[in-house]
Amino acid sequence: MLTVSLVPRPLAFQRNARYSTPEKANSWAEVTGYNNFYEFGTGKEDPAQHAGRLRTRPWTVVVDDECAAPGRFALEDILKPHPLEERIYRLRCVEAWSMVIPWIGFALADLIRRFEPTSRAKYVEFTTLHDPKQMPGQRHDVLDWPYVEGLRLDEALHPLAILAIGLYGKELPNQNGAPLRLVVPWKYGFKSIKSIVRIRFTEAMPRTSWALSAPREYGFFANVNPEVDHPRWSQKTERRIGSSNFLARQPTLPFNGYGDEVAGLYRGMNLARHF
């Protein structure tokens, strides 16, 4: 039985056409009912069934380490200076399926500059809430909790990377990462960490959850690359959730179709080795 019963509140926002795909967006039911969020279970329907117990107010985010303006901030203080905009992005998961989602949020770069990273800061590390009472999936050792992800600082400052607080004109449902999640559309979905409670600037590359758990399968960079196969399946094609033909597949695009914008970040890198 579904436990998510609260209707998300509407949000005021402006559409960002520059960073939106013209592709048809998935439906609300598809976006909110088919998720990877292991904190609530490993099944795709588990987050929608179990995330209703998560309390997203009040919410605190700690910002620390290599920055000049660290602190502990209420979510309202994090959001207050940033006008919200809607961007329609593709999000691709490593299981070779994808969705198109109308996210509402603000540029991650705007928040980063506010905290003034030092010259030693080379990476940004993000951490998810750890609370097994609210997140029953954390009672199992699927991963070494809490969930940790990270970006190189120049990736985090790229205008495509956003912190999302909503979708389809409403606040994020719990199963989609409420109240604050990362969206990095040129990378696989596991990089877009949910329910963030800590942002940390570091000199060393963060030890991220999936790279530690399965290093042969999930690297730090996780750029969508159809030429690098997952050890257990091909990455050359993907299935769009909601397609009328469940078996239909389409070619996977390098950098998930955002190559014109982000390929320069990786010039000279061996993307088969730095996967």
With 60 as the cut, is the pLDDT of residue 230 above it?
yes
| Pairwise CA distance, residues 118 & 196, whole Å | 22
Q: What is the DSSP string of 196-224?
A: EEEEEEESSPP--HHHHH-TTT--SS-B-
Residue 188: predicted pLDDT: 97
Does the pLDDT of residue 14 top 50, yes or no? Answer: yes
Section 234-242 average pLDDT: 95
Q: Give the count of alpha carbons within 13 A of 119, CB side only.
A: 0
pLDDT for position 84: 97
Q: What is the pLDDT of residue 4?
A: 44
Tokens of 62: 């700690």
| Cα–Cα distance, 264 to 210 (Å, whole number) | 25
How confident is the model at residue 6, as a pLDDT? 55
Stretch (H or E) spanning 97:
strand 97-107
Rounded to an integer, the average pLDDT of 71-85 is 95
Q: What is the pLDDT of residues 129-177, one digit of tens each?
A: 999 999 999 999 999 999 999 999 999 999 999 999 999 999 999 999 9
Prediction pTM value: 0.95
What are the boundaries of each domain within the chain?
A: 14-266
Per-residue model confidence as pLDDT tens digits over 19-31: 999 999 999 999 9
DSSP 13-71: -EE-STT---SPPPPHHHHHHS---GGG-SSTTHHHHHGGG---SS-EEEEEESBSS-E
CATH 3.90.420.10 fits 14-266, yes or no: yes
**pLDDT tens readout for residues 90-130:** 999 999 999 999 999 999 999 999 999 999 999 999 999 99
φ/ψ of residue 80, rounded to 5: -50, -45
DSSP 125-156: EEEE---TTT-GGGGSTTS-SSPEEEEEHHHH
C-alpha pair distances (Å), 250 with each of 21, 49, 112, 238: 16, 30, 36, 5
Residues 223 and 187: beta-carbon distance below 8 Å: yes
From 190, 246, 254, select the one nearest 222 (Cα to Cα): 190
Cβ contact 216:112 at 8 Å: no
Residue carrying the six token digits 């730090």: 220
d(CA 143, CA 240) in angstroms, rounded, equals 27
First to last CA, the chain: 39
For residue 124, give the nearest of 84, 180, 179, 65 by alpha carbon.
65
Q: Residue 247's pLDDT is what?
A: 80
Average pLDDT score over the chain? 95
Let me know: does 275 contact 266? Beta carbons within 8 Å: no
Q: Which residue type is seen at 28?
A: W
Q: Count CB atoms within 10 A of the CB of residue 147.
A: 24
